[in-house]
A = this chain, B = another copy of it.
Amino acid sequence: MSEFNTIARPSAHAGKLLENKTFFPDPPARGPLAPYRKQATIDWRKLKLSFHDETSLELQHRVWDFARKHPLFAHPNQTLTMDEERHLATKRMYVVQNEKMFTLSDFLERPDLATIYHQAWIAYEPSMAVKYSLGFGMFPSVIRTLDVGRLDEIVERNEKGEYLGAFGLTEIAHGTNAKGMRTTATYDPTAGVYILNTPDFEAAKCWIGNLGKTCTHLIVYAQLYTADGKHHGLNAFVVPVRDPNTLQAYPGVTVVSHPADNLLARTGDVNEQGEFVSPFKDPAKRFGASLGALSGGRISICGIANVYLTKAITIALRYSASRKQFGPDDAEDEWPVLEYQSQQFRLFPHLANNTVIRVFNLWFGKAYGDMQLKLLGGENIGATGMEVHALSSAAKPVCTWAARDGVQECREACGGHGYLKLSTIGDLRGNNDPNCTYEGENNVLIQQASNWLLSVRVKGYEKFAEVSPLGSAQFLAQYASLSKRKANWKSPSDAGSIANQLEALDWLVAYLLEESYQKMSTLRQQGKSSFEARNEVQSFFARTLSIAYGERMLLFVFAKFLANLEAGPERQALERLGSLYGAGTVLRHIGVFYQGGYFSTQSNAMALLQQSVLDLLPTIKRDAIAIVDAIAPPDFIINSPLGMNDGDVYRHMESAIMQAPEALERPKWWRDVVHRDYVQSKL
């Protein structure tokens, strides 16, 4: 698997970097968080440097500092209407686009920084960031990948900000089943144009970021027909939809004719004779390649989801350290709620998820970037492409659901104040929600991973040695010995050992794979079609298999990451989080371990796992606020009175509440309370 060679580790140079107050400003010496910072066993700056190097810190700082200083980027102090929000996001997008803070040549030098840059904007405000990345990132990138040099002008004018793009695959009645799209493109050889047609409202392109109000060009996926009536599958076309000078939609946007050159022709083209020609002989492969340009999206979403979780867990943990409630009868003060086991039990698993996913994203982003560079250089990437497809199909659900559940728990853990609009946790939840649905609806997408595992299993377990260069499934080649493995834990710390947990998860994936395979075979023998059998093997089997496969890989990558870190309290703190993640993962699948016999020689395995979790909670608590310091963005980006660096929750709340317009006035419509003449007016 790819090594973590771009992730900086403490070194001679790091010593100097640690003194940099721009990247490592001193936390407030007073206030409710100070005691927690004092009791920490770790240096938060060193911990931060295990996820960052100087360049990534600098880029992140540049983005956030730009936003903090630019007047257009000040946070509004009241809720905007959707139109106001769109307007503001659009203006901000053009300002950012004009800044060229991270260019194509920056990317070619350090592809891994693309996610740092993108996630910094996501952390600031996603509606701008998503508009920006669709319109000025994905749009030109898809054209560059699929065009054969005919549409360079569009890319150039996009780069100048004159054209804004959008990406149009989904229709009202088809999203998940991309092949089922009903928009057609029929080539008219006489005029040399394609006639694009959306037969009805159900086939209307929909859910297309930027399309609704602002884009000038849309990449339309349509079923291609040549004049002879032959169907050539789904192909991509660049269609001008609005006049860039007036932003008026072109006439007949439901039926648009446009020049033949606008077919993105790398995977297939229509020649002068009106015939379809393609370098791909197999239409299924052509379809795959035509959609292949999108495969980075899922990996990117894993990172975006974790940005929301980072903000939520920062807010919830700082709030928990500041908020006091109850206490022993003889105590003078109430306790910070972070002191309660039940609060630790609610929040620390999500801090652990956040950390393990953070490291996984760093690694996956790099592995994917390496693969892209090889592809661009014409190298053969062998089995990597398929493994990336399967792994990203499992990882996106695992990461986005982790964010969904984590953000929700953080909301609840902040009580009523977490429900306040100004806490921003509700927005984080709303922003993460579509991550579970777009770029492959999680429940459907996740089948891609089990489909791949099952297809290799059919050929024999030994094949796993060849198909998994990234290490997500290589271990399955040892199925024979794996399947006989049993737990041999003597103590809670055995149950908490990441190495032991990985052994258990290896077994789990192997067991679920074989169960799914056997269930599938039985269904086939009962006369079910492969379509039916695949559907009926999902619940409890293939679906759980995909999830376990993803969860195991997260811990596997984390263990490798730990092995590369310098020994010290920071590594220990990370180990504890990995251990909590591992114990939680095994506990979620506990029934399978018992039923499958992995615990057949020790029925107390669950109790050992539970005790390992309970033992971890107070040790993690000691460092929790320092860990948050290492991952939290600056206050301007956190933008929640509950989660500021000084922990001064009530002062920030008071100021936010009092600054709200008309906070202290009676409503303008007070007469409708006092007089109520509308009550008597009968129908």
Q: CB within 8 Å of B: which residues of A?
A: 69-72, 79, 81-83, 86-87, 90-91, 94-95, 98, 161, 164, 170, 172-177, 180, 201-202, 206-207, 213-214, 242, 244-249, 323-329, 334, 340-342, 345-346, 404, 408, 411-412, 415-416, 418-419, 426, 430, 433-434, 436-438, 441-444, 529, 531-532, 535-536, 538-540, 543, 587, 590-592, 594-595, 597, 599-600, 603-607, 610, 613-614, 617, 650, 653-654, 666-670, 672-674, 676, 678-680, 683
Contact = CB atoms under 8 A, between A and B. Distances in A.
A520 to B, nearest CB: 13
A324 B540 contact: no
A634 to B, nearest CB: 19
Given A95-B678, A678-B95, A416 B650 contact: no
A540 B539 CA distance: 26
Contacts of A174: 325
A443 B414 CA distance: 12
Contacts of A340: 535, 538
A606 to B, nearest CB: 4
Contact of A666 (B82, B249, B676): B249
In the complex, the count of this chain's copies comes to 2
A95 B676 CA distance: 9
A29 to B, nearest CB: 22
Among A69, A82, A667, the one with the most B-chain Cβ atoms within 10 Å of its Cβ is A667
B613 A595 contact: no
B597 A247 contact: no
Contacts of A668: 83
A223 B666 CA distance: 29
Contacts of A606: 591-592, 594-595
B213 A666 contact: yes
A334 to B, nearest CB: 6
A613 B606 CA distance: 24
Contacts of A214: 667, 673
Contact of A247 (B437, B538, B604, B673): B673
Given A416-B175, A603-B594, A650-B172, A539 B246 contact: no
Given A180-B326, A249-B666, A346-B443, A683 B415 contact: no
Given A591-B590, A591-B594, A676-B161, A430 B426 contact: yes
Given A341-B539, A679-B95, A177 B667 contact: no
A91 B248 CA distance: 40
A213 B173 CA distance: 44
Given A79-B82, A180-B334, A442 B412 contact: yes
Given A180-B326, A329-B531, 6 more contacts: A83-B667, A91-B672, A98-B676, A247-B673, A408-B408, A412-B443
Contacts of A426: 430, 433
A412 B436 contact: yes
Given A594-B603, A610-B540, A90 B673 contact: yes
A174 B606 CA distance: 37
Among A201, A323, A329, the one with the most B-chain Cβ atoms within 10 Å of its Cβ is A201
Given A416-B438, A653-B172, A180 B325 contact: yes
Given A86-B667, A87-B669, A415-B437, A650 B173 contact: yes
Nearest to A592: B606
Nearest to A404: B408
A474 to B, nearest CB: 28
B246 A334 contact: no
Contacts of A676: 94, 98, 161
A246 B613 contact: no
A201 B649 CA distance: 11
14 contacts: A79-B82, A90-B673, A180-B334, A214-B667, A244-B674, A247-B670, A328-B532, A341-B535, A342-B444, A426-B433, A540-B610, A587-B591, A595-B603, A595-B605
A341 B536 contact: yes
Contacts of A603: 594-595, 597, 600
A683 B443 contact: no
A323 B174 CA distance: 9
A560 to B, nearest CB: 29
Contacts of A346: 443
Contacts of A87: 667, 669, 672
A599 B669 CA distance: 65
Among A412, A430, A529, A604, the one with the most B-chain Cβ atoms within 10 Å of its Cβ is A412
B437 A91 contact: no
A329 B653 CA distance: 58
Nearest to A98: B679
